[in-house]
């Protein structure tokens, strides 16, 4: 017989105005269970977790917690008011029977100074302090809201291992797919105010969710057809007894009401980057660049060539110098030694992880248009600001809303809306995945993977890196940085260790002499056991891209075949000739890439 649940939420209802935020939401947590609570930004996940933590009272429903169970809640924004030191903040979470050694251990493992003033902590340090406070008592119930936000990869991997050893029953909210897959054993989906439970971990969630939505769509279609049949019977059918007619009329009204009030799935953002003219073939060339801060060398003798079409990821622990290296590569910071050369015709769009461009008192419309009326230019087309906002899931009435009233996810989408409206052939993304829900993350992945220009990004999201980048730059020791072919998983395979062992670099850690990732993705591992996600994606999409390129080449060749074109329009002739040369070069590269991937696939399957 299963033990009774430690925590039960039944028929929870909560409305802040408009549609209900929570409507018949339920959650049951047994001893040792690990539940991933998932849903869109704004669906009410954090609110439901606060109700479970007894920080918010629902308008209706029942909340039950076993009287003897201890509960700890990790909020997205820790409160340090009245706390003098980090040590005091963490130990304030201990119960009367708890020993302080666990708090001391966590402070050491998370790299926190016990004597530090909490008010001086960075975002990542504040998150680690809040984690230490929640984990120290080893509670019966652990409620974690975005525990990986602002954490570096080494800390995220440590947290995965610590939670795997924990005996606590866990409910966690996260947008980090890899983290959810490794920690969760069950999944609760909060969608349109209602919860559905899958007794499997997050790895099986997305396929199950798609099946549920498809079945719901079929049911709504069947209901619509049934309403049509009933309306036809009422108008033209043989007259039956009045009582029966009244019953069927009542049933029809109920069906109409159910069909009319049905809330379909939430909309999906439309992420499209504004096109700019092609950059030169060489985008960035760095030669032996170095940088030191206060005598500490964070970059030492690093060289790289980034070509048009490359997608380069930077990873490493917080404080290792990722942002410093990114700024040097993009010309925003001068190196102490060495040189950086930027290519020609570069149009750069930058997403800053600090969200520094956001003025809390500015309205959404003013921020997107820079105060220049109600329209903005996207891909050479005038778009009304409300229309552009809708593409990023904002409602028309939010156009005059101050930025300070937005959630973290909404702020992230707003910055993306501004960045993607600017014409660019070089995207520079510093932690672009922070606060984005999974559906928007999927679209951002597709945009980055299919972006025709060049992308340089910093991220701690391992799944995002594996799906998007063609090479990964990671720190070794003494300020050395090494470029590896492929994504994060490929980097680990070549490196032979995670960041906890970064100082003990393996012999395989050597700079690459060229760019095999873009033209030969199969070379990341000598004897791969399976194709990576991006290799499979390339195999599926390359034939279509090759066909489209061949079609465009044929059209340009037809234009160039006009013997009078040069005399009539020299600029058009020059433009067509230049574009034709680039497309032929791109076609040759795509055909070579497809051939090598096909050979790799045969090797793997054989």
Coil, strand, or helix at residue 536? helix
CATH number of 533-605: 1.10.287
| The pLDDT of residue 187 | 96
Encode pLDDT of 405-454 as tens digits.
Answer: 887 777 878 888 888 888 888 989 888 887 777 777 887 888 888 888 89
- Of 224, 205, 329, 347, the closest CA to residue 274 belongs to 347
| The pLDDT of residue 178 | 92
- Is residue 460 within 8 A of residue 320, CB to CB? The reply is no
Burial category of 114 from C-beta neighbours within 10 Å (exposed 0-12, middle 13-18, buried 19 and up): middle
pLDDT band at 340 (very low <50, low <70, confident <90, very high): very high
- Of 415, 433, 352, 416, the closest CA to residue 179 belongs to 433
CATH superfamily of 7-207: P-loop containing nucleotide triphosphate hydrolases (3.40.50.300)
Burial per residue of 412-428, b for 16 or more beta-carbon CB atoms within 10 angstroms, e otherwise: bbbbbbbbbbbebbbbb
What lies within 8 Å, CB to CB, of 45 at 6+ separation is: 37, 38, 39, 145, 173, 190
Encode pLDDT of 240-280 as tens digits.
Answer: 444 456 566 666 667 666 656 556 555 555 666 655 567 77
Q: What are phi and psi of 483, to 5 degrees?
A: -95, 130
| The pLDDT of residue 296 | 85
pTM value is 0.68
| Least confident residue range of 254-263, 350-359, 471-480, 556-565 | 254-263
- Of 343, 326, 317, the closest CA to residue 291 belongs to 326
Q: What are the sequence ranges of the domains in the chain?
A: 7-207, 208-261, 357-422, 533-605
| The pLDDT of residue 356 | 59
| Least confident residue range of 315-319, 424-428, 561-565 | 561-565
- pLDDT beyond 70 at 351: yes
- pLDDT beyond 90 at 404: no
């Amino acid at each position: 017989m299963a033990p009774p649940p430690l925590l039960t939420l039944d028929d929870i209802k909560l409305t802040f105005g408009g549609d209900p935020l929570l409507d018949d939401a339920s959650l049951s947590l047994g001893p040792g269970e690990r539940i991933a609570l998932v849903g869109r930004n704004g669906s009410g996940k954090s609110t439901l977790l606060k109700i479970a933590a007894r920080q918010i009272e629902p308008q209706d429903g029942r909340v039950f917690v076993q009287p003897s169970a201890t509960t700890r809640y990790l909020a997205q924004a820790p409160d340090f008011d009245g706390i003098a030191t980090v040590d005091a903040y963490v130990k304030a979470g201990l119960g009367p029977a708890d020993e302080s050694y666990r708090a001391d251990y966590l402070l050491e493992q998370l790299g926190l100074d016990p004597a530090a003033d909490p008010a001086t902590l960075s975002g990542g340090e504040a998150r680690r302090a809040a984690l230490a406070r929640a984990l120290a008592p080893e509670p019966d119930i652990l409620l974690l809201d975005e525990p990986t936000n602002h954490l570096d990869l080494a800390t995220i991997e440590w947290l995965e291992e610590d939670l795997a050893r924990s005996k606590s029953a866990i409910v966690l909210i996260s947008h980090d797919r890899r983290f959810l897959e490794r920690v969760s054993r069950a999944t609760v989906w909060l969608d349109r105010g209602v919860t559905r439970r899958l007794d499997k971990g997050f790895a099986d969630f997305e396929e199950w969710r798609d099946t549920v939505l498809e079945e719901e769509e079929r049911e709504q279609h069947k209901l619509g057809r049934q309403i049509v049949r009933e309306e036809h019977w009422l108008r033209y059918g043989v007259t039956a007894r009045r009582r029966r007619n009244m019953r069927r009329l009542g049933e029809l009204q109920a069906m109409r009401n159910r069909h009319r009030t049905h809330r379909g799935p939430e909309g999906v953002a439309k992420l499209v980057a504004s096109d700019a003219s092609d950059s030169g073939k060489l985008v960035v060339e760095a030669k032996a660049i170095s940088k030191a801060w206060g005598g500490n060398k964070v970059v030492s003798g690093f060289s790289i060539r980034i070509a048009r079409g490359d997608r380069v990821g930077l990873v490493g622990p917080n404080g290792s110098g990722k942002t410093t290296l990114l700024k040097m590569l993009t010309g925003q910071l001068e190196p102490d030694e060495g040189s950086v050369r930027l290519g020609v015709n570069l149009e750069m769009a930058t997403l800053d992880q600090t969200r520094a461009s956001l003025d809390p008192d500015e309205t959404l419309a003013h921020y997107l248009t820079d105060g220049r009326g109600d329209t903005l230019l996207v891909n050479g087309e005038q778009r009304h600001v409300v229309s552009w906002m809708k593409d990023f899931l904002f409602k028309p009435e939010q156009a005059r809303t101050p930025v300070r009233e937005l959630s973290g996810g909404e702020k992230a989408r707003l910055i993306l809306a501004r960045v993607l409206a600017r014409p660019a052939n070089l995207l520079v993304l510093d932690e672009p995945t922070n606060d984005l829900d999974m559906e928007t993350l999927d679209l951002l992945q597709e945009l980055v993977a299919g972006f025709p220009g060049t992308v340089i990004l910093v991220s701690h999201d391992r799944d995002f890196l594996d799906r998007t980048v063609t090479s990964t730059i990671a720190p070794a020791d003494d300020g050395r940085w090494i470029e590896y072919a492929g994504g994060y998983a490929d980097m680990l395979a070549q490196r032979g260790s995670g960041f906890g062992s970064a100082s003990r670099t393996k012999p395989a850690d050597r700079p690459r002499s060229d760019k095999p990732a873009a033209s030969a993705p199969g070379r990341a591992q000598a004897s791969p056991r399976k194709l990576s996600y991006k290799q499979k994606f390339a195999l599926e999409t390359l034939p279509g891209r090759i066909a489209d390129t061949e079609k465009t080449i044929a059209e340009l060749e037809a234009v160039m075949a006009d013997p009078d074109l040069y005399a009539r329009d020299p600029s058009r002739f020059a433009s067509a000739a230049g574009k034709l040369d680039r497309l032929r070069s791109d076609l040759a590269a795509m055909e070579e890439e497809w051939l090598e991937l096909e050979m790799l696939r045969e090797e793997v399957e054989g």
